[in-house]
Amino acid sequence: MVFSSTVFLFIFLPFTYLLYLIMPSVKAKNILLTAASLIFYAFGEPVTVFLMIFSVAVNYYAAVLISKNNRFCKLSFICAVIFNLLILGIFKYAGFFTETINSALHINIPVPDIRLPVGISFFTFQILSYVADVYKDKSLVQKKFLNVLLYISLFPQLIAGPVIKYYDISQQIENRSLTPEKTASGIKRFICGLSKKILIANTVGNTADTMFSLTGNDVGILTCWLGAAAYVIQIYFDFSGYSDMAIGLGKMFGFDFMENFNYPYISESMRDFWRRWHISISSWFKEYLYIPLGGNRRGKFRTALNRIIVFFFTGLWHGANMTFIVWGLVHGLFLMLESYHIIPVDKIKSKLLKHLYTILVVTVTFVIFRAENLSQAWLFIKEMFTGFNIDSQSLSIFTQQLSPLFAAAMAAGIVFSTPVIRKIKIPEYVSYTGTLAMLMLCIISLSSSTFNPFIYLQF
């Protein structure tokens, strides 16, 4: 089940929310939310919901052992980490690693066909956050299994984040309040996120999908740049839209989740980009991998190595494909080049020039991220910078995509990817009228569109 589906919007959410409001206590509300979250996950994954519950149970007992602070404390923590990485490795990477070994050694090991549980990367990282936080601070251990299960399975952020660190939300599980103002803010935030997904991401995404499906002579400089530009807008509004919906839903149920995006496309360096893009996952890797590796405290070489390791795993976390790994490594490389002033971003006075540099790197690397394989990524990037002989076929395909609806969605995407609207003082009644209008447009669009899941559900 996804937030942009009619089943969620018109059946699951209203029914769950009404029941939530009449629950007499936080404990009763938590039981309801846990049950609703498991139903939400089981709607599309009826079998793998048991995998999640089993994983939560193992880590719950591991955390209890860790909290005892005896001679088995460290061993329990190590075993819990290994268990979680094995679960993630088996279900997400077994096929990829087998294919890689077969290709490298020219052998033919049967490739396992294992269905990828939706959101496994997200809930596994939250489980790791829980056991790591308990290992660092034994007082954080949660004695109630239901509360741990709720933290992991809470449906607003279960399948595509934000990745919530346990210590950020531990107090809210049993002590949170719900006010009319918070509810109204949550509903508005949810509708804004839904509009990002339905009205912008889906519209430009159709063009991005068409361009990245081209082969042969159809692939040209115009179609490649159009596909790249459309995908840059699509992935931001798709993912930030989901995050807005998750944060809004959290507020409706009394939770405060961390922000996940802060206008990344206005960044003036790649370092700045990663302070603004997918903040929860970059924060997770910084706290649970980069700093334990030594961070930037052990000399230039070790700092560089730590960054390469972090961005290798950042790419691998996104998916079992070399495209994601290369995407992560290239981002890590640019951060290193900026840190050592080989790319002297700090010395460039022109904000426009710094912004153009950053958005160019982001756009080109997202081509790698979106491509089916490295061969397609290389073909697209090569055409983007050398394909000046414009073929009539690719020109025809290019012009066919430039519909008024696509142009409007791209223009809206460019405007709303900047904080310009925030700087305009809009009367409250106009703001709420606009929000209601966006909701109506989303409902109309949903009634006539096919299923279009969020990009990050595959991770």
Residues of the domain holding 382: 182-458
Within-domain flag for 230: yes
One domain for residues 96 and 219: no
Q: What is the pLDDT of residues 294-317, one digit of tens each?
A: 888 888 888 888 999 999 999 999
Residue where a domain stops, chosen among 125, 155, 176: 176
One domain for residues 41 and 133: yes
Within-domain flag for 255: yes
One domain for residues 250 and 138: no
Active site residues: 318
Within-domain flag for 412: yes
Residue where a domain stops, chosen among 176, 199, 223: 176
Within-domain flag for 359: yes
Position 340 scores a pLDDT of 87
Query: Structurally, how many domains does the chain consist of?
Result: 2
Residue where a domain stops, chosen among 152, 176, 200: 176
One domain for residues 93 and 233: no
Q: What is the pLDDT of residues 319-330, one digit of tens each?
A: 889 999 999 999
Contact 378, 365 (CB under 8 A): no
Would you say the C-alpha torsion 55, 100, 44, 258 has a positive or negative sign? positive
Within-domain flag for 14: yes
One domain for residues 303 and 393: yes
Q: What is the pLDDT of residues 67-79, one digit of tens each?
A: 987 788 999 999 9
One domain for residues 383 and 406: yes
pLDDT of the chain along its 459 residues, tens only? 788 888 899 999 999 999 999 999 999 999 999 999 999 999 877 888 999 999 999 999 999 999 987 788 999 999 999 999 999 999 999 988 898 898 888 888 888 888 888 889 999 999 999 999 999 988 889 999 999 999 999 999 988 879 998 988 989 998 998 899 999 999 999 999 999 999 999 999 999 999 999 988 888 899 999 999 999 999 999 999 999 999 999 999 999 999 999 999 999 999 999 999 999 999 999 999 999 998 888 888 888 889 999 999 999 999 889 999 999 999 999 999 998 889 999 889 899 999 999 999 999 999 999 999 999 999 999 999 998 888 888 888 899 999 999 999 999 999 999 998 877 777 877 888 888 999 999 988 887 766 566 666 665
One domain for residues 292 and 435: yes
Within-domain flag for 449: yes
Position 36 scores a pLDDT of 96
Within-domain flag for 300: yes
Within-domain flag for 1: no
